[in-house]
Amino acid sequence: MNFTILIIDTTSISPIIRNIYDSISLEHTIIEVSGSEILTEACTITHLDYIIIDSDNESYILKLLHYFRKRWSYKHIPILIVSSDAIIMHTEKLSNFGVVEFLQKPIDEYLLTYSLLYTYNLCNVFRTIKGENLIFKKKLIELEKLRIRTISLAATSQKLAEVNALLELQQQQIKEQQVELIQSKRKAEELLLNILPEEVSRELMINGEANPQFYKKVTVMFTDFVGFTRVCLNKDPQEMTKELDTHFSYFDDVCEEHYLEKIKTIGDAYMCAGGIPIRNNSNPFDIILAALKIVKYMNAVNQEKIKRNEPVWQIRVGIHTGSVVAGVIGKKKFAYDIWGDAVNTAYRVQSTSEPDRINISGETYMEIRNFFDCSYRGKIYAKNKGEIDMYFLNGIRKEYADEHDVLHPNKLFNQEMAKL
C-alpha cells in the first residue's frame, strides 16, 4: 500500500521520513509544499494519508488546521504538528480538530517512527473498513434486486409480505452488525484507555505488546491516611469505601489537571508519578502543585468533620525524584506500573512524614528550591534506606504565589515553567 504524506514548510524532516520508510521497505510518497500554497489553494492534492506541519507560529498552525478540517477530503486525515514551542501541548484549541498529534523539536526519531507506523496502521484499518462497507453495500443491492425479482414472481400478497419481511430483517441485521462492530471496537479502545496511558494503549493496539521504558527523571508521590485502620474499626465498611472513593476521585482529577499518571491505590495509599509516559522537565513542579491541592482539600474536609464531631482523616504525603522503569508486563489483566529505587525511596519519605505535611527528599528539593519555601528536617532515617535529607514543603515562595491564594502559582511562576 502506497502511503502519501504532505509536508508543509519544512525540508529537514523529509530525509528522516524517507530513511524510516526505506529501512522497513514501505511504499510511500512525500509531497512538500508551503503553507501559503495550501491557504491560497494554489496547490490541490486529491489523496493524502498524513499531514505534517512544521511551524512555531500558533496562529499560523490554527489557520492550517481550520483549512484542512473544513474540507471533506481532508477532514479525517491525521495531522502531526512539529514545533519547538512546548506551550502548544497544553492548549485546548487543538481539541476541536480531531486527530492532531504533537512532536517537539529537536525531533526524536523514535517518536517520529512510532507516529508514522501508528498512522500507517490506522490508514490500513480505515481502508479495510471502507472496503467492507462497499461489500455490505453490494450485498444490500443484491438483496434489493432479489426482493424486486421475488415480488414479480410472487403469486399472492401473503407470499410477497413474507419475502419483504425476511429481506427487511436481513437488511436490519446487516446494519445492526455494522453498528455492533463499530461499537465493540470503540468500547475495547475506551476500556484500554481507561486502564493504561494513551501512548501505551496505542503501542499495545499496534504491536500487541508494550515494552517497559527507562525514564531518567520521574517524580513519585505517595499519600497515606494516618491511623486509617483504627478509624475503620468504628465505621461501616461500605461507608468507608464510599468516602475513600470520593477522596481518591478528587486525587484523580488533580492528577489529570497537572498531567500526572495515577499508578495505583493500595488500601488507603495513593500512588502517582510525573514525567511518564511522556517525558518532561516540569514533573517535580507538577507533583508539588498537586500535593498542595490535595492537602488543602483534605484540610477543608477535616474542618467540616470537626464541626460534625466526626473522626478526621489526616493525610501524610511523601515525594521523591529519581529514575524508574515504567511499562506493562504480563499478558492478562494489563496494569501500568513503575519500578526502581526511586519508588521505594518515595514510599519511605511518605512513611517518615507527619500528619497534614508534605515531606520531600533532597533530590526533589534541589529541583524546586528556587520556587517553593521548604524547611530542612535534617538527615532522617528511613527503613532499608539509611539516612536521607528531607524537607517539609511549606508552600510557594511569595514572589511566585497568587496574591489571593498563596497555594496557587501566579503568572510569573507559569512563565518560568514554560521555559523548562
* Alpha-carbon distances, residue 36 vs 9, 152, 382 (angstroms): 9, 60, 62
Domains of the chain are 3-118 (3.40.50.2300), 211-418 (3.30.70.1230)
- Residue 98 near residue 7, CB atoms below 8 Å: no
pLDDT in tens, the chain (420 residues): 678 888 887 667 878 888 887 887 777 788 888 877 777 765 667 778 888 888 888 888 888 888 888 887 777 788 888 887 654 555 556 656 766 778 888 888 888 888 888 887 877 777 777 677 778 778 778 877 877 877 766 666 677 778 788 888 888 888 887 777 777 666 655 655 566 777 777 777 677 677 889 999 999 999 999 988 777 777 788 888 999 999 999 999 999 999 999 999 999 999 999 999 999 999 999 999 999 999 999 999 999 999 999 889 999 999 999 999 998 877 776 788 999 999 999 999 999 999 999 999 999 999 999 999 999 999 999 988 899 999 999 999 999 999 888 788 999 999 988 888
Decide: pTM greater than 0.75. Answer: no
Give whole-number Cα distances, 228 to 121, 176, 212, 349, 370, in Å.
Answer: 49, 51, 34, 18, 35
d(CA 407, CA 367): 18
Quick one: cell of 40? 491560497
- Give the angle 279-281-286 at the CA atoms, nearest 5°: 95
C-alpha 117, offset from chain centre: 19
Residue with cell 527507562: 214
> CA separation (Å) from 362 to 310, 315, 373, 387, 409?
36, 21, 14, 11, 22
